[in-house]
Amino acid sequence: MTKETPIISVKNLSKIYQTEGIETIALDNVSFKINKGEFVAIMGPSGSGKSTLMHILGALDKSTTGEYILGGTNIEKLDEEELSDIRNQKIGFIFQAFNLLPRTTTLKNVMLPMLYAGIEKKEAEKTATKYLTMVGLENRLNHTSNQISGGQQQRVAIARSLVMNPDLLLADEPTGNIASAQAEEIMNIFTKLNKEGHTIVMITHEPDIALHAKRIIHIKDGKLV
């Protein structure tokens, strides 16, 4: 992949849900590109289609029509096993609900994607410790995730998203479940990661959070505005 090749290329993407014979258009002919090293916020009100778009960008769902190319790979053409590999190795996810295992230590939570990919336990432990230290949690390695604050849980999730050195960090409402002071800390981490060259796409409905990104894509009623 050359520097000029976009990390994300979305072309004429539509997603239509069928429920009891009724069609709902969640995404309507959406096209955009995101280059390596960009920090982009996707903004829109509830029901705008941004969650549907996030699921497609995260290879968690496929579009009805159109094309999604991630780092030169046409995601629409992959089977379930290949999609699973893409999710584990090419995309780092940060969710609003953190998605940590509650009675598991922060260290083990961060090691999980590496163990899933067959990386040796000792190596995984070393990498997990490095990223937890990077997000300021070196003194919380053996705390379980239900023993730490929401802001700290989100930092664990960020550390976990980085361990496979993904092409793309995908953050879905990353500050939605934490206090505003902690939200600012989380956004500072994203800004730092972006300065280090990480490509970040963040879904948010909060204008002050979106302002941390370098570019904002607005979506309404399934269309880009």
pLDDT digit string, tens, across residues 9-22: 999 999 999 988 89
Asked whether 136 and 155 are in contact (CB, 8 A), the reply is yes
Q: How far apart are CA 76 and CA 63, in angstroms?
A: 7
Asked whether 111 and 125 are in contact (CB, 8 A), the reply is yes
Q: How far apart are CA 66 and CA 27, in angstroms?
A: 11
Report the residue count for the chain.
Answer: 225
Region of residue 71 (phi > 0: left; psi between -120 and 50: alpha; otherwise: beta): left
Compute and round to an integer the Cα radius of gyration of the chain. Answer: 17
Sign of CA dihedral 16, 32, 55, 178: negative
Average pLDDT over residues 214-225: 94
Q: How far apart are CA 133 and CA 189, in angstroms?
A: 12
pLDDT over 70, % of the chain: 98
Look at residue 34 and give its three-state secondary structure.
Answer: strand
Which residues lie closer than 8 Å to 147 by C-beta, 6 or more apart?
A: none
Task: Specify the pTM.
Answer: 0.91
Q: What is the mean pLDDT of the chain?
A: 92
